[in-house]
Amino acid sequence: MSKIGRKPIPFSSAKVEVKGNNVLVSGAKLKFEHELPVQLVASIDGSTLVLTPTQNTREVRAQWGLHRALLANKIHGIEKGFELAMKIVGLGYKAQISGKDMVFSLGYSHKVEYTLPVGVTVDVDRTGQQLLFKSHDKGLLGSVCDKVRSFRTPEPYKGTGVMRADEEIIRKAGKTGA
């Protein structure tokens, strides 16, 4: 059995409906629809959602755990949302918000502009170096943070760049004197 797949998914404020192989998860403001493979069956047991496989093969067990995790993320996103903190390290490196656009000063000869997708918000502190991204969709949030990180990836000699707040940069020793 799949260790992840067999866990029930609890929900409280989200509304979950099962229609055939489609699972509809809705909250106060948004809705998610998730289509399950034919080999998985979803059922609601009180205030929990349970997935059960119809076959016992390696591929079905892998799909079971995957779809259970995806549904759990959608339910958690509707009920509480997701946050990811990032920091910008470097002299003169900062971010600014203007509407739905972000403007980054990252040591290049030009400013980097990025338009946030619908469903993602960001809070920037006074210094412009602490960013807090928020979204109800975990996959979208991760892809936005990866895109922002790619503008200036952390370098191992000085430790400067855009990185997650909890990310550890392994520093390298520079040149030593002769």
Q: What is the average pLDDT value for the chain, to the nearest integer? A: 91
Distance CA 101, CA 115 (A): 4
Distance CA 166, CA 163 (A): 8
Enumerate the domain spans of the chain.
Answer: 9-79, 82-164
Residue 110 has pLDDT above 80, yes or no: yes
> pLDDT tens digits for 1-16?
678 888 999 998 889 9
CATH topology agreement for domains 9-79 and 82-164: yes
Distance CA 177, CA 112 (A): 37
Q: Could you tell me the fold of the domain covering 82-164?
A: Outer Surface Protein A; domain 3 (3.90.930)
- The CATH architecture assigned to 9-79 reads Alpha-Beta Complex (3.90)
Alpha helices in 19-102 (DSSP H): 58-79
Nearest to 164 by CA among 132, 118, 135, 140: 132
Distance CA 70, CA 58 (A): 19
Mean predicted confidence (pLDDT) in 21-37: 90
> pLDDT tens digits for 61-72?
889 999 999 999
Write down the pTM of the prediction: 0.87
